[in-house]
Amino acid sequence: MIGEDTALLMIDIQNDFCPAGALAVDDGDAIIPIVNRLQSLFHVRILTQDWHPHHHSSFADNHEAAEPFSVRKMHYGDQVLWPRHCVQGDHGAQFHDQLKTHDVDLIVRKGFRPSIDSYSAFFENDRKTRTGLAGYLKERDVRSIYVAGLATDFCVYYSIMDALDLGFDAVLITDACRAIDLDGSLDIAMAAMKARGAKFTTSEKI
If binding means CB under 6 A, how many residues of this protein chain bind ligand VGL? 9
Residues 75-114, one symbol each (x = binds ligand VGL by CB under 6 A, - = not), give -------x--------------------------------
For the question of residue 18 being annotated catalytic, the response is no
**Contact at 8 Å (CB) between 161 and 205?**
no
Q: Is the peptide bond before 151 cis (omega within 30 degrees of 0)?
A: yes
For residue 151, state whether it binds ligand VGL (rule: CB under 6 A): yes
The number of helices, as runs of H, and strands, as runs of E, in the chain is 4, 8
CA distance 187 to 197: 16
> Shortest approach of ligand VGL to residue 61 CB, angstroms?
14
- Using CB under 6 A as the binding rule, whether residue 133 contacts ligand VGL is answered as no
Q: What's the min distance (Å) between Cβ of 13 and ligand VGL?
A: 9
In this chain, which of 50, 96, 161, 203 binds ligand VGL, going by CB under 6 A?
A: 50
Residue 48 CA from chain centroid, whole number: 6
Q: Determine contact, residues 112/102, Cβ cutoff 8 Å.
A: no
Tell me which of 50, 155, 162, 177 is the catalytic residue. 155
The item of ligand VGL, Zn ion, none sharing an interface with residue 28, based on CB under 5 to 8 Å by kind, is none
Q: Give 103's contacts (C-beta < 8 A, 6+ positions apart).
A: 39, 40, 45
Nearer to ligand VGL, 2 or 182 (CB): 182
The backbone torsions φ and ψ at residue 46, rounded to the nearest 5 degrees and listed phi first, read -135, 135
Identified catalytic residue from 110, 153, 162, 177: 110
CB atoms closer than 10 angstroms to residue 206: 18
Q: Is 50 in the site for Zn ion (CB under 5 A)?
A: yes
Cα separation of the two ends of the chain: 8
Q: Is 29 in the site for ligand VGL (CB under 6 A)?
A: no
Residues with active-site annotation: 12, 110, 155
Q: Which residues bind ligand VGL (CB under 6 A)?
A: 12, 17, 50, 82, 119, 150-151, 154-155
